[in-house]
């Protein structure tokens, strides 16, 4: 009987699987000194399991439910309803009835009780399941309480709970439910307390929502609540809502909604003293649980009762730091156009590559820019550089700098320069003022040096294994860093960027023409990324004549079976074309800065949808025509600008200067993409060598599958290879953490308080419904929006406008099919913007929530010159 019912005071910290998240937290809260919790007890999950284990109808329905996916909404609703009905009809085990009788005799059967659900997959640090199961208030009498126990069990299978479990990877069979039976309190006021601001995520700001009566009115959205903010023991903000209604308990049981009198509607629910007292209680509970909490509270005759406390699961983690100083962090992912979570091996490799002061949080990297913000000189340079890359970051940093005393200024000479992403060329290159002649061979020489170095690496790494391999990789990363931060290389990139900015600024001033450099940048030489998109058109040309090959590729599910393909007419030619493409571009993939991501060479079938799309949408020789069309448009634009300039005062001089700048752009801007290509190339060579070591670890029984090495840092993997020792729980733990990180949206800017500072675009004279972003490639285009989150899901028609979260170089092959681009992340010189300009695609980037605001299939107009989108 004891295992079927447990009083709050009897619940142990290890009994999550017996009493669920809510029950476990109430048990712990009830033992905390100075915290008032209404008395109660739990029907444990064993009682639920006993009740359903012999229910054949339930088991059969559950079998059907486990076969469904989230998309099968109608079947989910039908089967879930039948499961709920079967659970409500179960006969309660006699031990449960006896346990309820015993506790009610102790607590008082005449009292009213709340009967509340507590699932084992609820109120967890990584999945709140908040509001998924049912609660029944003011239940009076043993018989009524017993009836509501089975109702709570049944609520484990509400449609929303079932779908939530599917989305979060929880097995229906392994989620159980406990029922809390807790003495009702009848409050004058109640509400919710967050020990971190749920909007800004600031851990130092405590947020209280308060309204009259029971909290159900607030939770259900029936009334607006007062909102109070408390920081460092001071009320820093108050918003008093008009509260027209309140829910109260009835003496005979149940609840009723009452209209409040006009005076009470506008009054402040809690006094100043009560607000601060409640804030203190919140901080005490947060300190006990060790993480920010979301609590439900009641005020009864001047005493605060806590009826629930759970972790806040929506906060973005704060970057790791060793001290308590105020710090500001900028997202690397927003600079690198890859905001997805990275595996530990990927994070550690990127950290080995960059000299910037990096911090990890939520599976992403952030740069601590506090030292640069502390100096007036470096502060201005940093904010302006970031503003060119991403205006939303600049606006967020400006907001922080306007706050008094958040960052203490230091004399300039004490500042340690550190860019937000020193691996990103435009940030580092600000220090280089190299000037080059437009017709110099510098670009071809740099590319040749890169290629020679890669070939040497491939040859030497074959001879390395074990610890010697790790030592060699560390040495070679120094070589990679030399390439990435080579003053000549960065000087070329900076020269091209400055020339492009000069053209845009002066053509706008002299001729009233915006974005002139965008057209000038079309079809430039030596752009390895734009060449990648055009080269896939050539692969399509090879395959196009062979109908049987096309039919085979249309039915490829997992990967291309080369043995099958060569038996088909044209199969060998097609394979040769694909292999030739992969020899140059096979190290690329979506999210390529994470070394653990699957490369195209590892899974060539990723390219199949794009090849088929090219066959469908284009005629033969499209790559040459596209490149030549862009080149002609650039030449025509150059001639037009020079002719118009010559008509102006001092026209000859202006035309001469402009011609020089155009030549710099045409010859050098394409190289902007090469250092990243070189880095990814090297990463793939390292990865192939490490996977050979992983095969040896699998053979030795140290790891289960070779991909397990992705869950280890470079240093940890080195130690495992050296010792053949590994606590495998680390792998399982990190896989679970990654599932959590995948669902997080990283902020552009976050402080050491956990506050997310959201920047805003400051624009005027735009249409009322305009969706605002950053103009990066000029022109206006209308078309069908295709909202695509994963490149392999792209099914594009020529003339579509691609709307996505971000595009790194791997997305370039899609650019040949589209007419415009909209992304949530990006800046003027990020990869998507550079390629959009070269292909002549109007583009707007940095559009907050673009993939949610714009629906797939909507007709939209992209204003690439002005930086906004209209939904038509």
Residues catalogued as catalytic: 831
Give the chain's end-to-end CA distance (angstroms, integer).
65
DSSP state of 267: S
Q: How far, in Å, CA of 658 to CA of 664, rounded?
A: 10
Q: How far, in Å, CA of 518 to CA of 526, rounded?
A: 17
Alpha-carbon Rg for the chain in angstroms = 31
The alpha carbon torsion through 471, 474, 475, 478 (nearest 10 deg) reads: -170
Q: What is the side-by-side order of every strand in the sheet holding 364-368?
A: 358-361, 364-368, 328-331, 749-751
Q: How far, in Å, CA of 132 to CA of 129, rounded?
A: 6
Q: How far, in Å, CA of 30 to CA of 21, rounded?
A: 14
Q: What is the side-by-side order of every strand in the sheet holding 40-43?
A: 5-7, 40-43, 177-183, 112-119, 135-140
Q: How far, in Å, CA of 384 to CA of 390, rounded?
A: 10
Helix (H) or strand (E) holding 784: strand 780-787
Q: What is the DSSP code string of 465-512?
A: -HHHHHHHHHHHHHHHHHHHT-HHHHHHHHHHHHHHHHHHHHHHHHH-
Q: What is the DSSP code string of 83-152?
A: HHHHHHTPPPPHHHHHHHHHHHHHH-TTSEEEEEEEETTSSBTTB--TT-S-EEEEEESHHHHHHHHHHH
Q: How far, in Å, CA of 741 to CA of 398, rounded?
A: 28
Q: Which of 440, 422, 444 is nearest to 431 (CA)?
A: 422
Helix (H) or strand (E) holding 251: none
Q: Which of 839, 841, 840, 828 is nearest to 774 (CA)?
A: 828
Strands 800-804 and 818-823, bridge-based pairing: parallel
Q: Which of 210, 203, 265 is nearest to 238 (CA)?
A: 210
Cβ–Cβ < 8 Å for 424, 458: no
Could you tell me the maximum CA-CA distance found in the chain, to the nearest angstrom? 101
Strands 328-331 and 364-368, bridge-based pairing: antiparallel
User: Per 3-state DSSP, what percentage of the chain is helix, strand, and coil (rounded to 5)?
Assistant: 50, 15, 35
Helix (H) or strand (E) holding 283: helix 272-289
Q: How far, in Å, CA of 55 to CA of 168, rounded?
A: 27
Helix (H) and strand (E) counts in the chain: 33, 25
Cβ–Cβ < 8 Å for 20, 122: yes
Cβ–Cβ < 8 Å for 113, 182: yes
Give buried/exposed letters for 604-630 (b at 16+ CB in 10 A, else e): bebbbbbbbbbbebbeeebbeebbeeb
- Measured between alpha carbons, how far is residue 392 from residues 368, 398, 663, 826 in Å? 17, 10, 32, 10
Strands 818-823 and 843-845, bridge-based pairing: parallel
Q: Which of 742, 715, 712 is nearest to 728 (CA)?
A: 712
Going through 632-769 in order, the beta strands assigned E by DSSP cover 749-751
Cβ–Cβ < 8 Å for 872, 782: yes
């Amino acid at each position: 009987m004891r295992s079927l019912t447990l009083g709050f005071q009897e619940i142990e910290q290890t009994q999550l699987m017996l009493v669920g998240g809510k029950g476990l937290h109430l048990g712990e809260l009830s033992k905390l000194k100075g915290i008032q919790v209404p008395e109660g007890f739990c029907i444990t999950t064993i009682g639920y399991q006993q009740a359903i284990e012999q229910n054949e109808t339930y088991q059969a329905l559950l079998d059907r439910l486990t076969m469904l996916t989230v998309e099968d909404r109608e079947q989910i609703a039908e089967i879930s309803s039948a499961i709920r009905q079967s659970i409500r009809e179960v006969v309660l085990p006699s031990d449960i009835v006896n346990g309820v009788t015993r506790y009610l005799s102790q607590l008082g059967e005449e009292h009213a009780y709340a009967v509340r659900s507590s699932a084992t997959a609820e109120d967890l640090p990584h999945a709140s399941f908040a509001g998924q199961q049912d609660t029944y208030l003011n239940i009076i009498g043993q018989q009524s309480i017993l009836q509501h126990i089975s109702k709570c069990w049944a609520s484990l299978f509400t449609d929303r709970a079932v779908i939530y479990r599917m989305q979060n990877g929880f097995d229906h069979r392994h989620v159980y439910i406990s029922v809390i039976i807790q003495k009702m309190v009848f409050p004058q006021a109640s509400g919710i307390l967050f020990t971190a601001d749920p909007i800004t995520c600031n851990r130092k700001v405590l947020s209280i929502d308060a309204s009259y009566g029971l909290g159900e009115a607030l939770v259900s959205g029936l009334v607006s609540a007062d909102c109070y903010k408390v920081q460092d023991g001071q009320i820093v903000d108050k918003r008093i809502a008009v509260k027209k209604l309140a829910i109260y308990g009835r003496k005979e049981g149940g609840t009723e909604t009452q209209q409040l009198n006009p005076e009470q509607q506008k009054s402040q629910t809690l006094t100043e003293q009560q607000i601060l007292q409640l804030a203190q209680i919140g901080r005490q509970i947060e300190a006990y649980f060790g993480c920010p909490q979301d609590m439900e509270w009641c005020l009864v005759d001047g005493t605060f009762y806590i009826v629930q406390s759970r972790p806040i699961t929506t906060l973005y983690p704060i970057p790791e730091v060793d001290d308590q100083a105020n710090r500001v962090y900028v997202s690397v992912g927003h600079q690198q156009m890859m905001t997805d979570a990275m595996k530990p091996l990927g994070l550690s490799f990127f950290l080995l590559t960059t000299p910037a002061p990096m911090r990890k949080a939520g599976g992403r990297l952030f740069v601590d820019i506090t030292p640069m913000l502390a100096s007036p000189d470096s502060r201005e340079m940093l904010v302006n550089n970031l503003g060119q890359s991403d205006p939303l970051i600049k606006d967020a940093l400006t907001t922080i700098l306007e706050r008094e005393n958040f960052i203490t200024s230091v004399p300039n000479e004490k500042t340690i320069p550190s860019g937000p992403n020193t691996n990103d060329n435009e940030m580092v290159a600000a220090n280089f003022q190299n000037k080059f002649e437009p017709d110099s061979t510098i670009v071809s020489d740099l590319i040749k040096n890169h290629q020679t170095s890669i070939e040497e690496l491939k040859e030497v790494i074959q001879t390395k294994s074990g610890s010697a391999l790790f030592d060699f990789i560390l040495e070679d990363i120094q070589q990679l860093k030399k390439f990435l931060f080579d003053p000549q290389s960065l000087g070329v990139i900076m020269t091209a960027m400055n020339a492009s900015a000069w053209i845009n600024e002066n053509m706008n001033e002299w001729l009233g023409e915006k974005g002139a450099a965008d057209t000038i940048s079309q079809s430039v030489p030596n752009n390895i990324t734009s060449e990648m998109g055009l080269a896939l058109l050539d692969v399509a040309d090879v395959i196009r004549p062979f109908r049987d090959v096309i039919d085979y590729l249309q039915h490829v599910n997992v990967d291309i079976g080369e043995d099958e393909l060569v038996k088909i007419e044209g199969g060998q030619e097609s394979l040769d074309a694909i292999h030739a493409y992969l020899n140059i571009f096979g190290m690329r993939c979506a999210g390529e800065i994470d070394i653990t991501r699957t490369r195209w060479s590892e899974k060539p079938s990723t390219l199949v949808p794009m090849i088929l799309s090219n066959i469908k949408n284009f005629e033969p020789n499209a790559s040459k025509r596209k490149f030549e069309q862009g080149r002609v448009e650039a030449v025509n634009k150059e001639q037009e600008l020079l002719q118009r300039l010559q008509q102006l005062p001092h026209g000859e001089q202006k035309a001469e200067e402009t011609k020089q700048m155009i030549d710099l752009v045409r010859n050098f801007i394409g190289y902007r993409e090469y250092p990243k290509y070189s880095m990814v190339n090297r990463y793939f060579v390292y990865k192939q060598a490490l996977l050979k070591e992983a095969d040896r670890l699998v053979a030795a029984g140290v790891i289960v599958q070779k991909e397990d090495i992705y869950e280890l840092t470079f240093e940890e993997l080195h130690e495992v290879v050296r010792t053949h020792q590994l606590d495998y729980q680390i792998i399982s733990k990190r896989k679970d953490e990654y599932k959590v990180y995948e669902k997080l949206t990283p902020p552009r800017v976050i402080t050491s308080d956990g506050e997310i500072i959201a920047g805003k675009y400051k624009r005027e004279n735009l249409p009322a419904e305009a969706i605002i972003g950053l103009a990066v490639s000029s022109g206006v285009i209308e078309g069908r929006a295709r909202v695509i989150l994963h490149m392999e899901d792209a099914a594009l028609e020529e003339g579509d406008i691609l709307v996505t979260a971000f595009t790194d170089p791997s997305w370039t092959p899609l650019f040949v099919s589209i007419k415009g681009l909209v992304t949530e992340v990006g800046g003027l010189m990020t990869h998507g913007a550079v390629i959009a300009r070269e292909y002549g695609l109007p583009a707007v980037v940095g559009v907050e929530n673009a993939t949610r605001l714009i629906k797939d299939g909507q007709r939209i107009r992209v204003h690439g010159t002005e930086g906004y989108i209209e939904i038509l």
